[in-house]
Homo-oligomer: A and B are copies of this chain.
Amino acid sequence: MEFVKGGVCAAKGFKASGIHCGIRKNKTKKDLALIVSDVKASAAAVYTSNLVKGAPIYVTKENIADGTARAVICNSGNANTCNSNGVEIAKAMCDLVQESTDVAASDVVVASTGVIGQPLDITPIKDGMAELVCALNYNGSEDAANAIMTTDTVLKEIAVEFTLSGKKCTMGGIAKGSGMIHPNLATMLVFITTDAAVSPEMLNKALKNDVADTFNMVSVDGDTSTNDMVCVLANGLAGNAEITAEGEDFDAFCKALGEVNSYLCREIAKDGEGATKLLECKVFSASEKAIARTVAKSVVCSSLVKAAMFGADANWGRILCAIGYSGADVDINKIDVSFKSEAGEIPVCKNGMGIDFSEEIAKEILLKDEIQVLIDLNSGDEFAVARGCDLTYDYVKINGDYRT
């Protein structure tokens, strides 16, 4: 597998664009993105588990119920959620794509991100469609990635090349993250495109399997958004024999998808609102996969752990504490904990008890911007990793007055 440039346009036959249409007041910030496949693609998506769902999610679900789609339209600046005309507006966005391109409205994935509960005005989108469609091009990934960003500070895109039965395939993705990010998705929008040929059923299976280990294991602030969506389009233009069952090709496809998703997860966690560092909690030797996941998530979600990481404070008691209230059935007396970063690794707790360690070395390790908390449960063979970030002044600042 090789990393390549081009993001969501790296795979054959995908164009993208992003413009400022006026949903946002700030004219320098793009707010409308479009991705179009030259041909119909297999489509699969996973959505927020929040009972309050953005209107676009209902419309997207309906449009990809047949397992196919050709385009993605996404705006930032307004979530189109908790508005009485939400579904109507989301459908109107699909209609606008149909009117301006050769894509049927029923083949459009629609997504929105931003403030909840303020009606989304269709006018700027309508007025911007000509420009948006005109700007579509095979190098448009960055523009699209820019347009879906909200409080993200870093553009998130990735692409990889891989081989399926001798055919070179490409897969790329763009993502927006930042706040309201929590297991079972978040205001996390991820659009992935690939030219591999995969049946809708197998695409769906690959995606569902993968998110359990990737996007469902990311938390920025414990708040699960109403609008989350991870969507994959696979247009088959690579010319490989279509994947219709499990096997070597399916495994290779899943591996590529895992690579793309893991990268985007790390990027989302690292760029969490106000974050200064990436926090990865790796849980080893759990008796069950579910226990490993629960423990890892509880640690990266703990406000006290997150604040300690911000302060580069090796307060491992908070990690034990977070394991203890996670609800996972673990033997506390078997737990070992270490901190690790590019500056080294330091054990701080053995068999659930504190051990002597150098606070200076620990500080040096924790001052780096990518921190791993390694937890060994010494109870089995299962592993999980959860990703999050530190809790900082800036998180509070960003969220103390987001709307103004």
A-side residues, CB < 8 A to B, are 49-53, 79, 81-84, 115-119, 179-180, 182, 184, 221-226, 301-304, 307-308, 310-311, 313, 315-318, 320-325, 330, 332, 349, 352-354, 391-393, 395-404
Contacts and interface: CB of A to CB of B under 8 A. Distances in A.
A51 B221 CA distance: 23
Contacts of A330: 51
Quickly give the copy total for this chain. Answer: 2
Contact of A321 (B50, B352, B354, B401): B50
4 tightest Cβ-Cβ pairs between the two chains A and B: A116-B317, A311-B400, A52-B324, A307-B399
Contacts of A318: 116, 180, 223
6 contacts: A179-B304, A222-B303, A310-B400, A311-B399, A395-B396, A396-B396
Contacts of A353: 82-84, 117
A211 B395 CA distance: 32
Nearest to A335: B52
Q: Which of A223, A353, A398 has the most CB of B within 10 A?
A: A223
Nearest to A301: B222
A395 B324 CA distance: 22
Nearest to A363: B404
Q: Which of A222, A321, A330, A392: most chain B CB closer than 10 A?
A: A321
B396 A321 contact: no
Contacts of A79: 317
Contacts of A53: 324
Given A184-B325, A315-B403, 5 more contacts: A50-B325, A116-B321, A221-B303, A313-B401, A393-B393
A274 to B, nearest CB: 9
A399 B304 contact: yes
Contacts of A310: 396, 400
Given A49-B325, A303-B303, A82 B117 contact: no
